[in-house]
A = this chain, B = another copy of it.
Amino acid sequence: MTSNGNGQVIQLTKKDFESDQQVRWCPGCGDYAILATVQSFMPELGIPRENIVFISGIGCAARFPYYMETYGMHGIHGRAPAIASGLAVARPDLNVWVVSGDGDALSIGGNHLIHAMRRNVNMTILMFNNQIYGLTKGQYSPTSELGKVTKSTPFGSADYPFNPISLALGAEASFVARTIDNDRAHFTEILRKAVAHKGTKFIEVYQNCNIFNDGAFDAVRDPRSGRENRIYLEDKKPIRFGKDESKGVIMDSDAQLKIVDVEEVGEARLLVHDENAVIPGRAFALSRLSHSPTGPVPLGIFRSVERPVYEDLVEQQIAQAKERGGPGDLAKLLRQGETWEVS
């Protein structure tokens, strides 16, 4: 829905969110599916196009804004959350999105990301995790598995990767989710819930880079064989997955999670998912079920809690100041403090 400039309201379609720019990703890149999902979802938002802004950094993922017929800025490497924070604080009326890659968001931009989440600035951050630097042609990223052989690490990388969900939870994020580029239904559902949440929404999207890291997520992404490994988290429901939902997740007394045969342990022992738990201990434990996706992987919303939104508090302080002292009077302000007259 949007106004057409003449005050009339028009129902928008996916097409309305396609910009006139030619899409420049490699054929077969997972980014195409993401773009299609987001563009298709947009009309549902019910927000006029002109009130939507996409901000990005640099990387293949970061080309995203160019393809969205909304306002957008393709910023500099890693700084999108900071640019978007300023935008959101200036204009809380806008619907703000950040699109970033694993390198952009977690390597050079790691600090802005964790601070945005801590502040709880109202924006939706889509992080396309392909566990590689795509645009610069295939160096390992902070999510690449230890020992990864890439252009910059011909003998294997020596550093242990981040788990983006753990990091987000450790950084106080109020909304944390994970989905897959090619799972449109699930992705759309996550987007729906994200936009309904006020604050920073961090969404990790497993994205296949078929050129430099093809198949990194096959264990869970493969439309056929991967299904078994998808642990779809559903709020307030016992965590089950696999063929006929035959597998489940339980928690030991020491806060370790285990994957079990539901029949063996009985449904009653299964961990019941709760997105809204104030303390993110369980969400964190869930995030540790998998690091790099080689087996069962939780997908969905790990955490969704209400917390004051940074720019709302900023607005409140302004409103209060105006209420207390009236709107600013420049002449009065200049005269504040001790003055004297010369005649």
Contact = CB atoms under 8 A, between A and B. Distances in A.
Contacts of A307: 160
B277 A256 contact: yes
A285 interface: yes
Contact of A281 (B110, B168, B256, B320): B256
A160 B279 CA distance: 14
A142 B115 contact: yes
Interface in A125-146: 142, 146
A167 B171 contact: yes
Nearest to A161: B118
B119 A110 contact: no
Nearest to A166: B170
A211 interface: no
B314 A118 contact: no
Interface stretch (A69-77, A95-103, A179-187, A247-255): A247-255
The count of identical subunits is 2
A11 interface: no
Interface stretch (A34-42, A151-159, A221-229): A151-159
Contacts of A280: 284, 288
A4 interface: no
Given A110-B114, A114-B167, A310 B158 contact: yes
A317 interface: yes
B172 A160 contact: yes
Nearest to A317: B155
Interface in A269-291: 272, 274, 277, 279-282, 284-285, 288
B172 A163 contact: yes
A172 B287 CA distance: 12
A227 to B, nearest CB: 25
A51 interface: no
Contacts of A110: 110-111, 114-115
Given A167-B170, A172-B166, A160 B317 contact: no
A321 interface: yes
Given A170-B169, A281-B284, A308 B120 contact: no
A123 B312 CA distance: 40
Contact of A279 (B167, B253, B285): B285
Contact of A159 (B119, B160, B253): B119
A313 interface: yes
A328 to B, nearest CB: 15
Contact of A255 (B108, B171, B285): B285
Nearest to A164: B170
Contact of A313 (B142, B158, B320): B158
A115 B161 CA distance: 9
Contacts of A320: 155
A83 interface: no
A321 B282 CA distance: 44
Contact of A158 (B166, B171, B314): B314
- Which 10 residue pairs across A and B have the least CB separation, nearest first? A170-B170, A158-B313, A281-B285, A111-B111, A255-B282, A255-B281, A110-B111, A119-B159, A284-B284, A155-B317
Given A107-B115, A281-B288, 4 more contacts: A155-B320, A251-B254, A254-B277, A281-B285
